[in-house]
Chain A
Amino acid sequence: MLVRDSLDHCVKCTICESFCPYSQATPLFPGPKYVGPQAERFRRTGSSPDISVDYCSGCGICTQVCPHGVKIAEINSQARAQLWEERGIPLRNQLIARPSVVGRLGTPVAPLANWTLRNRVLRRLGERLLGIHRDAALPLFAGRTFQRWARKHVSPAAGRTIVYFHACGTNYYEPAVGQMTVEVLEHNGFHVVVPPQDCCGLPLQSNGNFPAARAYVQRLAANLAPYAREGCAIVSNSTSCGLMLKREAREILDVEDEDVAVVSESMYDLSEFLFLLHGRGELRTDFKPLELTVPYHAPCQQQGHGIGKPALDLLALIPGLRAIELDADCCGIAGTYGLKKEKYEISMTVGERLFSQLRESNGDVAACDSETCRWQIEHGSGMHAVHPVELLHRAYGLGAA
């Protein structure tokens, strides 16, 4: 079903409005119902009524809470693409929406690039020239890619094969998380295959460049599809990029592509997959105790999977570990939203509920499935944040990656 067809189910009950964290934080975003289902009638005449839909972050909470199945966030995402098609996409949005291009440029010169990212004067200049907020939580380049590690790594032969989609954040900024993911899967008896892969196109989609986003996701799906056709499961520790392959490419970008279809059926979020294994009695539970208090934040895009909070269930298996479920909805970063000069303050206002819950939790370390959210959490709350797999890796005693 086309997402716009769901619009007829809107009864204007305002439940989405009362949950939207962004309309609470800024009058520039009048709310998901206003800019989405309600403004759609103006857009059908061919031109967007105003720019307010650009202040939607795409977090998707509106769609989750809608009791009538209206695809509000998806309608808004398509409306944003129409807006930028009419007006032309700003250079800044073209740049930050291509993490693999930025990653390839920055990795070989990581020390210099990281020095630039930490230099206050240059960041102020970057804000003036590019519109990337001087204080926004930009990650540092690792200087070595995960792909490079994976090419040298020999995954032991095993009865079961699994495909790992690591996405850009792991590749350029957090290769250690990728190594830990591979080692946790190997520990559970999987032979791990890491096919060559590029960006999934999600940042381009949320910045309104649908044609480029489609090209990226179709290229990625073509690389992964042969494994899916053989019956291999595909896992990702990047919960938003995984969601792109599961659903958003088909639903928001309207991609009708056999590769995307078969990949979407085989796609699992890492925590989802591991907990499903546990349900079958096949997850190793030889965990050493970890005496840690771990506040857990489920990112909006993770909630978009509709699978509950399997990371919490996994953390509960580790002896000694005390996981706390936080109930703040959104950290405010929404991928690239909070990087933008005009949206940084909004993003920090949205995140404040989460940051204060983290500060009050007396936690040792925060857990969160999404990389951009972890960077925002560290920036906003000062608490170190890890992917849940890092805690599993530690509890398995698999050593430092």
Chain B
Amino acid sequence: MNEAHGRLVPASYDAVVIGAGLAGLTAALRLAEEGQRVAVLAKGVGATHLAPATIDVLGYDDGPVDSPARTLPEFADANPQHPYRRLSIDLIRASLDWFKACLSDHGYRGGLDQNLLVPTAVGVAKPTALVPETMAAADLRQGGRFIFVGFRGLKDFFPAYLADNLARTPLPGGAAVTTRVVELSPPLGVARDVSATGFARRFEQADFRESVLAELGRHLMPGEIVGFPAVLGLEGARKVWQELETRLGHSVFEVATLPPSVPGIRLYETMTGALRRRGARLVVGTTVAGAEGSGNRLEGVVAHTAGRPLTYRANSFVLATGGFASGGLQLDSSGEVREPVFDLPVAGLPGPEEPRFERGYFDEHAISRAGVAVDASSRPIDGEGTPVYENLHAVGATLSGAVPWREASGNGLSLASGYAAASAILEAS
């Protein structure tokens, strides 16, 4: 060993996925389900903990989208660079079905044919394709009388703001919604302020639920639909939700809070748990910062560890590092956009004379469509359309051509593109 402990390399994997957001976890789990030996390498935990765990496939085109299945073909035609142009309706549908089966404990409802309409934390009626069962009763399309429950000590949920905005929101088909608010003060112990996860843990305790039920029962009027902040338990959420519905005799649903997103944590825990059970290795807290390969074949990626760099070898690789927000794309002060792991070509950039940013924060900024362009097998391509590596695939928010926060398409894109990349890898092997 005297000469050469530096040459040590770890045993190889079938697939290495870089990034642990929904796109990366989807690709990894699909591959692990098919018997591949998978490693997931992540700098940190992804956007699952920030987003509400609904699957928004396409929420807005010119206006709110009623049926993604109906709108997607013309949307893709009008946006030829959009990732949905490459992902067929059948594939998106298959990815949703796979997701519902994989998260069967969460009882996801909905589908591609008809968007649900659920209130956000600020009272916007958001079109979305799939919601966990605990959110389904929020569907605003039929209208209804809603009561939103707040908790003293929960600093990340503002029911009055939500209820006021929602009551003023015009709904399709003239559905009528009335809203009101009740604030409860269940015992919190010595804690001064409690996070959403802190409330979620308390909701797993029977005596806490009893105190909420007793206090809330006095306030409800017949027929009201009851909206809680999304803090109804962690692993046991579905049971908590069922108990509240049964005991109150009212429909009950959850509304996403400000981060941390408890439904997102449930999603992450279920998917990473399934990965562990299938023997996949999850390494969170390591940054991938380089590649090893010959010609157009990638042989390994080099990850930072506490000691020396470590090479992970695999037959195929999936880049799922996200967009600008997570560092999967970087914009420097001179205006250059880079993909930092493989230095892949970046597509979707505005021309040299065109502005990158508009003046208004909520305007559509040209830079936001920047990202990595891929071929039909989800492989990053150069300007000529040639794959950079024959065995590297890119998924999720790293892809060019989409503006997920305007389209309400983020999780849908992550899910469908992660699923598609796994399919391409499985077909090739």
Report the bound CA distance from A275 to B8 in whole Å. Answer: 9
A277 touches B276 (CB 8 A): no
B306 touches A67 (CB 8 A): no
A18 touches B285 (CB 8 A): no
B126 at the interface (CB under 8 A from A): no
B286 at the interface (CB under 8 A from A): yes
Q: Which of A99-115 contact B (CB under 8 A)?
A: none
B53 to chain A, nearest CB (A): 14
A231 touches B189 (CB 8 A): no
Residue of chain A at shortest CB distance from B48? A15
Residue of chain A at shortest CB distance from B265? A18
Knowing A15-B49, A309-B281 touch, does A27 contact B192 (C-beta < 8 A)?
Answer: yes
Interface pick from B164-172, B193-201, B218-226, B408-416: B193-201
Which residues of chain B are near A161, meaning CB under 8 Å? 1-2
Interface string of A233-267 (1 = CB under 8 A from B): 10000000001001100000000000000001111
A176 at the interface (CB under 8 A from B): no
Please tell me which one of the listed residues B191, B308, B310, B326 contacts residue A265 in the complex, with CB atoms under 8 A apart. Answer: B308
Knowing A161-B2, A306-B285 touch, does A68 contact B327 (C-beta < 8 A)?
Answer: yes
A306 touches B276 (CB 8 A): no
Which residues of chain B are near A162, meaning CB under 8 Å? 1
Please tell me which one of the listed residues B197, B283, B287 contacts residue A308 in the complex, with CB atoms under 8 A apart. Answer: B283
Q: Which of B288-319 contact A (CB under 8 A)?
A: 303-308, 310
A8 at the interface (CB under 8 A from B): no
B9 at the interface (CB under 8 A from A): yes
Report the bound CA distance from A268 to B260 in whole Å. Answer: 36
Interface pick from A58-66, A129-137, A209-217, A367-375: A58-66
B249 at the interface (CB under 8 A from A): no
Please tell me which one of the listed residues B189, B201, B260, B310 contacts residue A307 in the complex, with CB atoms under 8 A apart. Answer: B310
For the residues of B in contact with A, the DSSP-based class is: loop
A35 to chain B, nearest CB (A): 14
Interface string of A270-281 (1 = CB under 8 A from B): 000101111110
B307 touches A305 (CB 8 A): yes
Please tell me which one of the listed residues A63, A246, A277, A312 contacts residue B285 in the complex, with CB atoms under 8 A apart. Answer: A63
A14 touches B195 (CB 8 A): yes
B45 touches A67 (CB 8 A): yes
Residue of chain A at shortest CB distance from B277? A325
Report the bound CA distance from A279 to B3 in whole Å. Answer: 17
Which residues of chain A are near B5, meaning CB under 8 Å? 231-233, 266, 268
Residue of chain A at shortest CB distance from B261? A18
A306 touches B44 (CB 8 A): no
A64 touches B1 (CB 8 A): no
B2 touches A230 (CB 8 A): yes
Report the bound CA distance from A324 to B201 in whole Å. Answer: 26
B11 at the interface (CB under 8 A from A): yes
A265 touches B307 (CB 8 A): yes
Residue of chain A at shortest CB distance from B50? A13
Knowing A14-B195, A27-B189, A279-B9 touch, does A327 contact B39 (C-beta < 8 A)?
Answer: no
Which residues of chain B are near A304, meaning CB under 8 Å? 285, 306
Q: Which of A141-164 contact B (CB under 8 A)?
A: 160-162
A99 to chain B, nearest CB (A): 22
Residue of chain B at shortest CB distance from A267? B307
Chain A: residues with Cβ within 8 Å of the partner, total of 51
A279 touches B195 (CB 8 A): no
Report the bound CA distance from A298 to B251 in whole Å. Answer: 42
A277 touches B8 (CB 8 A): yes
Knowing A18-B265, A190-B1, A276-B9 touch, does A306 contact B49 (C-beta < 8 A)?
Answer: no
Which residues of chain A are near B12, meaning CB under 8 Å? 279
B45 touches A17 (CB 8 A): no
B44 touches A69 (CB 8 A): yes
B10 touches A276 (CB 8 A): yes
Interface string of B107-124 (1 = CB under 8 A from A): 000000000000000000
B285 touches A327 (CB 8 A): no
Interface string of A117-137 (1 = CB under 8 A from B): 000000000000000000000
Residue of chain B at shortest CB distance from A18? B260
B88 to chain A, nearest CB (A): 31
A69 touches B260 (CB 8 A): no
Please tell me which one of the listed residues B10, B43, B191, B281 contacts residue A279 in the complex, with CB atoms under 8 A apart. Answer: B10
Which residues of chain A are near B284, meaning CB under 8 Å? 64-65, 303
A396 at the interface (CB under 8 A from B): no
Report the bound CA distance from A233 to B3 in whole Å. Answer: 9
A84 at the interface (CB under 8 A from B): no
B305 touches A307 (CB 8 A): yes
Residue of chain A at shortest CB distance from B44? A67
A20 to chain B, nearest CB (A): 10
Which residues of chain B are near A27, meaning CB under 8 Å? 189-192
Which residues of chain A are near B192, meaning CB under 8 Å? 27
Report the bound CA distance from A63 to B265 in whole Å. Answer: 18
B46 at the interface (CB under 8 A from A): yes
A184 to chain B, nearest CB (A): 15
A305 touches B189 (CB 8 A): no
A24 at the interface (CB under 8 A from B): yes
A245 to chain B, nearest CB (A): 9
B259 at the interface (CB under 8 A from A): yes
Which residues of chain B are near A275, meaning CB under 8 Å? 10-11
A246 touches B306 (CB 8 A): yes
Q: Which of B159-206 contact A (CB under 8 A)?
A: 189-192, 195, 197-198, 201
A313 at the interface (CB under 8 A from B): yes
A183 to chain B, nearest CB (A): 17
Report the bound CA distance from A283 to B103 in whole Å. Answer: 40
B305 touches A67 (CB 8 A): no
B73 at the interface (CB under 8 A from A): no
Report the bound CA distance from A280 to B311 in whole Å. Answer: 13
A280 touches B9 (CB 8 A): yes
A69 touches B259 (CB 8 A): no
Q: Which of B202-254 contact A (CB under 8 A)?
A: none
Report the bound CA distance from A303 to B191 in whole Å. Answer: 30
Interface string of A1-35 (1 = CB under 8 A from B): 00000000000011101110000100100010000
Residue of chain B at shortest CB distance from A60? B285
Which residues of chain A are near B1, meaning CB under 8 Å? 160-162, 190, 231-233
Q: Which of B253-287 contact A (CB under 8 A)?
A: 259-260, 265, 272-273, 276, 281, 283-287
Q: Which of B1-60 contact A (CB under 8 A)?
A: 1-5, 7-12, 39, 42-46, 49-50
A160 touches B2 (CB 8 A): yes
Report the bound CA distance from A306 to B41 in whole Å. Answer: 9
Which residues of chain B are near A325, meaning CB under 8 Å? 276
Q: Knowing that A64-B285, A313-B11 are A-B contacts, what are 18 other residue pairs whose CB atoms are under 8 Å apart, sorted by A's residue number? A: A13-B49, A13-B50, A14-B195, A18-B49, A18-B195, A27-B192, A160-B2, A190-B1, A247-B307, A267-B307, A268-B307, A273-B8, A275-B11, A303-B284, A303-B285, A306-B305, A307-B306, A308-B281
6 contacts between A and B (CB under 8 A): A13-B50, A13-B259, A27-B191, A231-B4, A233-B1, A305-B305
Q: Which 6 A-B pairs have the closest CB atoms?
A: A64-B285, A67-B44, A276-B8, A233-B5, A306-B305, A18-B260
Chain B residues within CB distance 8 Å of chain A: 1-5, 7-12, 39, 42-46, 49-50, 189-192, 195, 197-198, 201, 259-260, 265, 272-273, 276, 281, 283-287, 303-308, 310, 326-327
